[in-house]
Structure 1
Amino acid sequence: MEPFQTFKGLVCPMDRTNVDTDQIIPKQFLKRVERKGFGECLFFNWRFNEKGAKNPDFVLNQPKYAGASILVAGDNFGCGSSREHAPWALQDYGFKVIIAPSFADIFYNNCQKNGILAIRLDKEKTDVLIAYATKTSLHLTINLEDQTITGDGFSYTFDIDPYQKEMLLEGLDEIAVTMRHEDEIAAYEQKHTVSA
């Protein structure tokens, strides 16, 4: 994973609550085994009509949100089944940050493990960001080290678990964190090896 420190991006507002993982990445696309290519299937049932044409009313299809890399959504984002494909699809599409008042726990943890910064922010603040980004283009700067969200007159702080923050800042997954202790693991194994 790439280290996440300070990131600036365009906001895409998704004024919906209870967006479940089946809407994020519908089940028919879960047959792939690689982690790439899911972005084209992101929000498939909302982005496209029955004939496969883009739905012009869906937010991701609106030209002013082209290239958006920060998604601001409503409560309980990522609910439903615990498919890791959901953060893969968001990341492959280009989202680096997701801001919502609340997330399903498994989805939240899957985001952090895959290098997406999921930020829990009060509903009043997310509502303001959604309203502003709906009216005009909104660019925000996310500083993970300082835990701040700034831009266009906005200045918010957010909380994050210190362990998850460290992993994101250093671009580490759980295996890489474990391998930091390779010498201690080897010493333990040597000490506790039973001779045949």
Structure 2
Amino acid sequence: MAGWNTHEGPALCLPLANVDTDQLIPARFMSVPRAQGYGDYLLHDMRRDDTGGLRADFPLNQHPEVSILVTRRNFGSGSSREAAVYALVDAGIRAVIAPSFGDIFASNAVNNGLLPARVEPEACAKLEQALTTGPRPIRIDIDTRTLRLGDLTVPFTLDDSWATKLINGWDDIDLTRAHGDAITAFRDTRLRTAPWAWPAAH
């Protein structure tokens, strides 16, 4: 997975709170092989009518080219399904900006290169207001933890370890491997100082 620290792309306002993972990708699509891509299933039941056709009034259908979503609180709540993140990534979304996220969703997002940028509710409302006329470009800088939309600059919150993972394109295993020397040194010290704590060699 390629890492990144800056991204500039069209941002769309999705003014919905409590969008859960079953809305992001309904469970009935979970049997589709990952290799086929999950982008067509993103927000499927919101985006499509009873016949399966795309709803002309749904914002994401009007602007499928966007790479950033600005939405409301508790985005990605519900189950732990990682496929919710796959659906966003496969649809070309690089970042979601919201006042709060489901904890497991946010962790899954970072492991798949998707930024969950948490902003204060007041700042999110300003971004939403700026996007009322349609998509506009937002520039994201992970190093400085800032979003810029025209003259508006908004800070966002992101854990340092998550920033490291996004910038380097790492998952949890990669992050652990980055501490390989320290792990080896600890093991060697323990072998010397507490030999009784280790099983006998065979």
CA RMSD of aligned residues (A): 2.0
Structure 1 gaps, min length 5:
none
State the 1:193 CA deviation.
Answer: 6.4
The whole-number CA distance in structure 2 between the counterparts of 1:195 and 1:30 is: 46
The share of aligned pairs that are identical, in percent, is 35
Question: What secondary structure is seen at the aligned counterpart in 2 of 1:19?
Answer: coil
Which range is displaced more, 167-176 or 178-187? Answer: 178-187
Counterpart residue number, 2:128: 130
TM-score, scaled to structure 2: 0.88
The whole-number CA distance in structure 2 between the counterparts of 1:174 and 1:167 is: 8
Could you tell me which of 146, 149, 153 is aligned with 1:148? 146
The whole-number CA distance in structure 1 between the counterparts of 2:35 and 2:173 is: 17
The whole-number CA distance in structure 1 between the counterparts of 2:78 and 2:50 is: 23
Which range is displaced more, 178-187 or 93-102? Answer: 178-187
State the 1:57 CA deviation.
Answer: 1.1
Which range is displaced more, 26-35 or 87-96? Answer: 26-35
Aligned length: 194
Q: Does 1:74 align with 2:80?
A: no
AA at the equivalent of 1:176: D
Q: Which is greater in Rg?
A: 2
State the 1:34 CA deviation.
Answer: 2.3
| 1:35-114 paired onto structure 2 within 5 Å | 37-62=37-62, 65-114=63-112
Counterpart residue number, 1:7: 7
Which range is displaced more, 91-100 or 154-163? Answer: 154-163
The whole-number CA distance in structure 2 between the counterparts of 1:36 and 1:4 is: 24
The whole-number CA distance in structure 1 between the counterparts of 2:183 and 2:144 is: 33
Q: Cα deviation per residue 1:21-72 (whole Å; 9 max; x = unaligned)?
A: 111000001113426511110000011111111111111111xx23100001
State the 1:194 CA deviation.
Answer: 3.4
State the 1:111 CA deviation.
Answer: 0.8
Q: Cα deviation per residue 1:99-131 (whole Å; 9 max; x = unaligned)?
A: 001111111111111111101111122122122
Question: What secondary structure is seen at the aligned counterpart in 2 of 1:106?
Answer: helix
Question: What secondary structure is seen at the aligned counterpart in 2 of 1:78?
Answer: coil
State the 1:16 CA deviation.
Answer: 0.6
AA at the equivalent of 2:103: D
Counterpart residue number, 1:164: 162
